[in-house]
A and B are shown apart, each in its own frame.
Chain A
Amino acid sequence: MYEKHLMICGATGCISSGSQSVEEALVEALEMHKIRDKYRLVMGGCPGFCEVGPIIVVYPDEVFYCRLKPKDMAELVEKHLVGGEIVERLLYKGPDVDAPARFFDTIPFYTKQKFNVLRNSGLIDPEIIDEYIMRGGYSAFTRALDLEPAAICAEVKKAGLRGRGGAGFSTGLKWEFTLQAPGIKKYVVCNADEGDPGAFMDRSILEGDPHAILEGMLICGRAIGADEGYVYCRAEYPLAIKRLKIAIEQAEQYGLLGQNILASGYNFKVKIKEGAGAFVCGEETALLASIEGKRGMPRPRPPFPAQFGLFGKPTTINNVETLANIPLILKEGGVAEFSEIGTAGSKGTKVFALAGKIRNTGLCEVPMGITIREIIYDVGGGIKGGRAFKAVQAGGPSGGCIPAELLDLPIDYDSLNQAGAIMGSGGLVVMDERTCMVDLARYFLSFTQKESCGKCTPCREGTKRMLEILNRITEGAGIPEDLDTLDSLAASIKDSSLCGLGQTCPNPVLSTIRYFRAEYEEHINDRYCRSGVCKALFNYRIDQQRCNGCTACSRVCPVEAIEGQKKEPHAIIQELCTRCGSCIEKCPQDCIMITPVGREADVSS
């Protein structure tokens, strides 16, 4: 028996902030005290709070240590593990708590969250199947084995689960279609090609709780009559693939995958297919083509994959998060429990990836129907650096932005659609007054334009023309007609593109024009980008009244474009300035302003 378990976050976020060297230092400190074998160290899943990583949670004390450095480990071992005293210095501190917070329930980031899909993430060792089983894992599957396939579909339908990957189609209905499709050979496909820039919840589920996906697939296979499943995972997620492989091996050893599972006569096997880097493969027909070893190009629907899917056989394709919800629904009493949470049209919880200019970046799981304000200000802790909130981009390149006036919008499929955004996979990228909405629209379009597979003309040519116009506007050569042209191009692309990528790619442009038209007009008519992003459309100027000549700006300037004596106001030589923005980041007085080109007017940043 171990005295304590130390869960070290081993997900990509914390590894990037150095959790591996923290773990090494911890092992070293334990060995120094000769107590290594009393403690169990788990480089496990993710508690979600990437902002304060690397994180260690000590169980059973439930103490949450964060922002750890290797040099902190000696003290942690000596004081906490040997001395039994909490190391206050390493607890969570922030403007949103009065005193250092010990654990989840006292950290504001966690108080509004509800852990369903992420129920095991960070709590269990994802590489040990027994830990998943001990938390009730695979019991929903054994229950499903006693149910008729149609009854399983009915339960999923009744729970009101909608696809978490994009369009939000009823999962139960999707299963029913595949069940009813004629044919002996059918497939389950798990779409783990999380390509939306700004979304990382699927990776976190795969890394933190891979068996939940396998259990979801097993239940799905039972429900639709499939005996084979594929997980199509991005090659950019090596850790997720590794953990999934281990999970499959262990499930096979336990007889949970393979022939005649648990003596029920049900056979099911799971294979992993690594993607090869193409955003369009998140689209279901393109994904199937890619599994078949072809170029990942979509095809017209109908026939839908439920009738004619992988290798021409009826196929159900579900996203990672959707599948992770399935065991919760199929467990005893799961339907009622699941549908209690959420709104009339959107049941359950949703995992969001919070990123951008927000204080608490990371992964959070909240009940459907929570408002955007609650997510950004209560969970997210508000905007970084005290700047003003401008908008949040929901749903990645297929979604849209939601401006400040809609902060009280409840998050569910239908209200997001009405606002011109989509739930998508659940990436929420927060933007402040220093984000240019025209540049953002241009960024998304340059992404979709590059990722367009080129099969259909509206998407291939249309995105290119739209991108040319947006490039022109951000370079200062926009003309007043551009906005109408963008509108009409967007409408044609939406109506006539072959697949979801094309049909949704104008959304970021349309929603930014809808909510930030004045910003476009300022770019076109006044040749001014007030956010200080479009380099041709602003100048930096130093406020001569406020500058105290601290030289912080002139020291950091890479092109020596800032002149001035120490303790005297500095000035920027506009001919040399490359508008790299290094100075404005460094100025302690906030006296560098973003101003229109060629005008001395005092427009403050």
Chain B
Amino acid sequence: MLKSGAALETAKMDPIDLSPLDPLVEPYLGKKEMVIPVLQKVQEHYGYLPRPAMEGVSRLMQIPLSRLYGVATFYAQFKMKPRGRYIIRVCKGTACHIQGSPKIAERIEEILGVQSGVTTDDLRFTLEEVACIGACALAPVIMVNDNPHGRLTPDKVQAILDSYE
């Protein structure tokens, strides 16, 4: 499974366009406490945190690259690898767990052939887990990008995935 992630990195060797970086970081210059919002903006733009962009942020904000990575790898939100067009987030909250979210996750893994945290080779989907999206009343729930899908059973999964091309 790890293979597809590695293959993907070599496949996606397009040079990273760093020109948007300056305007992204500009409002935060000199405010080292704003490093998390800066990384959030950078990730919003690139979809993940590419190494060259991290180096750029480090230079612009004058924060050592090591510390930047220390912060970025601490938080679940930050991704170091490119991700798919659609991010499937399987809620792993308590309510979802006891209502069968492990079975939903299993079915998605079967269909996509990737495990949690991995992107499909065609860059269509990235499968992730999330602690709780707070729609417990509709458990089990998954989010595809910003769309929640609730009250799932394993047999509903295929149709949902098919609706995201």
A positions within 8 Å CB-CB of B = 12-13, 15-17, 50-51, 53, 194-200, 203, 235-238, 273-279, 290-297, 311, 353-357, 361-362, 393, 396, 427, 429, 431, 435, 440, 443-444, 447, 451, 453, 556, 558, 580-582, 585
CB <8 Å contact, B71 and A294 = yes
Chain A residues within 8 Å of B32, by CB:
293
Q: Shortest beta-carbon distance, B61 to chain A, in Å?
A: 10
Size bracket of the B interface:
35 or more
**Is A278's CB under 8 angstroms from B40's CB?**
no
CB contacts (< 8 Å) of B40 on chain A: these are 235, 274, 276
Query: Are the C-beta atoms of B74 and A16 separated by less than 8 Å?
Result: no
* Contact flag A356-B74 (CB < 8 Å), given A195-B131, A198-B132, A276-B40: no
* A356 near B138: Cβ-Cβ < 8 Å: no
Identify the 3 closest CB pairs spanning chains A and B, nearest first.
Answer: A50-B137, A197-B93, A277-B76
Chain B residues contacting A361 (CB-CB under 8 Å) are: 95, 136-139
Quick check: A278 and B134 within 8 Å, CB to CB?
no
Q: What residues of chain A lie closer than 8 Å to B131, measured between beta carbons?
A: 195, 197, 277, 279, 447, 451
Q: Considering the chains assembled together, what is the distance between the CA atoms of A279 and B146 in angstroms?
A: 21
CB distance from A215 to the nearest CB of B (A): 23
B25 contacts partner chain A, Cβ-Cβ < 8 Å: no
Which positions in B face A, CB cutoff 8 Å? 32-37, 39-40, 70-71, 74-78, 92-100, 103, 106, 130-139, 141, 146, 148-151, 153-155
Please indicate the chain B residues that have their CB under 8 angstroms from the CB of A296 in the complex: 74-75
Chain A residues with CB under 8 Å of B151's CB are 17
User: Which residues on the A side are within 8 Å of B103 (C-beta)?
Assistant: 580-581
**A355-B137, A356-B99 known; A197-B36 Cβ under 8 A:** no
The answer to whether A197 and B95 have CB atoms under 8 Å apart is: yes
Contact partners of B33 in chain A: CB under 8 A: 291-293, 311
In the bound complex, CA of A522 to CA of B149 (Å) = 37
Question: Per a CB cutoff under 8 Å, which of A16, A198, A235, A274 touches B94?
Answer: A198
What would be 7 A-B contacts, judged by CB atoms less than 8 Å apart?
A197-B97, A273-B36, A295-B70, A443-B97, A453-B74, A580-B106, A581-B100
> Does B37 contact A274, Cβ atoms closer than 8 Å?
yes
B98/A16 in contact, CB under 8 A: no
CB-based contact B150/A196 at 8 Å: no
Q: Which residues of B contact A12 (CB under 8 A)?
A: 133-135, 148
The reply to whether A431 and B98 contact each other, CB–CB distance below 8 Å, is yes
Question: How distant is the Cα of A339 from the Cα of B59 in the complex, in angstroms?
Answer: 55
Instruction: Looking at the assembled complex, report how far the CB atom of B134 sits from the nearest CB atom of chain A, in whole angstroms.
Output: 4
Contacting pair B134 A355 (CB below 8 A) = no
Q: Is the CB of B132 within 8 A of A15?
A: no
A200, B136: Cβ atoms closer than 8 Å: yes
CA distance A277 to B75 in the complex (A): 5
Measured in the bound complex, the distance between the Cα atoms of B71 and A296 in whole Å is: 8
In contact, B133 and A356 (Cβ under 8 angstroms): no
Are B132 and A362 closer than 8 Å at their CB atoms? no
What distance in Å separates the Cβ of B165 from its nearest Cβ neighbour in chain A?
20
> Judging by beta carbons under 8 Å apart, are B70 and A429 in contact?
no
4 more CB-based (< 8 A) A-B contacts, given A13-B138, A236-B130, A277-B75: A199-B132, A277-B76, A293-B34, A443-B94
Contact A353 B98 (CB under 8 A): no
**In the complex, are the beta carbons of B135 and A13 less than 8 A apart?**
yes
Complex interface: chain B residues within 8 A of A236 (CB): 130, 132-134
Q: Contact between A293 and B94 (Cβ–Cβ < 8 Å)?
A: no
CB of B78 to closest CB in A, whole Å: 6
Q: Which residues of A contact B146 (CB under 8 A)?
A: 238
Whether A198 contacts B76 by the Cβ 8 Å rule is: no
Task: Name the B residues within 8 Å of A291 (CB-CB).
Answer: 33
CA distance A17 to B150 in the complex (A): 7
User: How far, in whole Å, are A15 and B148 apart by their CA atoms in the complex?
Assistant: 8
User: Complex formed: what's the CA distance from A353 to B100 in Å?
Assistant: 19
Find the B residue at minimum CB distance from A48.
B137
A582 with B148, Cβ < 8 A, contacts A236-B130, A440-B98 known: no
Which of B39, B97, B149, B154 meets A16, CB within 8 Å?
B149
Q: Is the CB of B93 within 8 A of A198?
A: yes
CA–CA, A200 to B93, complex, Å? Answer: 11
| Known contacts A15-B148, A296-B75, A357-B99; is-contact A429 B135 (Cβ 8 Å) | no
CA distance A277 to B132 in the complex (A): 10
Q: Is the CB of B77 within 8 A of A277?
A: yes
Report Cα–Cα, A195/B94, bound state, in Å: 11
**Are A197 and B92 interface neighbours, CB within 8 A?**
yes
Q: Which of A194, A274, A278, A294 has the most CB of B within 10 A?
A: A294
Chain B residue numbers with a CB within 8 Å of A290 are: 36
* Residue numbers in A under 8 Å from B76 (CB-CB): 276-278
C-alpha gap A102/B151 in the complex (Å): 26
Nearest-Cβ distance from residue A321 to partner chain B, whole angstroms:
14
In the assembled complex, the Cα of A294 lies from the Cα of B150 at a distance in Å of: 35
User: Measured between alpha carbons, how far is A398 from B37 in the docked complex, in Å?
Assistant: 29
Measured between C-beta atoms, what is the minimum distance from B55 to chain A in Å?
18
> In the complex, which residue of chain B has the Cβ closest to the Cβ of A237?
B134
Q: Which of A194, A276, A435 has the most CB of B within 10 A?
A: A276
> A353's contact among B37, B96, B133, B136, by CB below 8 Å, is which?
B136
With both beta carbons as reference points, the residue of chain A lying nearest to B146 in the complex is identified as A238
| Min C-beta distance of B73 to chain A, whole Å | 9
**Residues of A with C-beta under 8 A to B136:** 197-200, 353, 355-356, 361, 427, 429
Residues of A within 8 A of B95 (CB): 197-198, 355-356, 361, 429
Docked CA distance A237–B51 (Å): 28
Q: A357 CB to closest chain B CB, in angstroms?
A: 7
Contact B148 A16, beta carbon cutoff 8 Å: yes
Q: How far is the CB of A277 from chain B (nearest CB, A)?
A: 3
Task: With CB as the reference atom, state the residue of chain B lying closest to A508.
Answer: B94
| Residues from chain B with Cβ under 8 Å of A580 in the complex | 103, 106, 154
In the complex the two chains form, what is the Cα distance from A195 to B75 in whole Å? 13
- CB contacts (< 8 Å) of A196 on chain B: these are 132
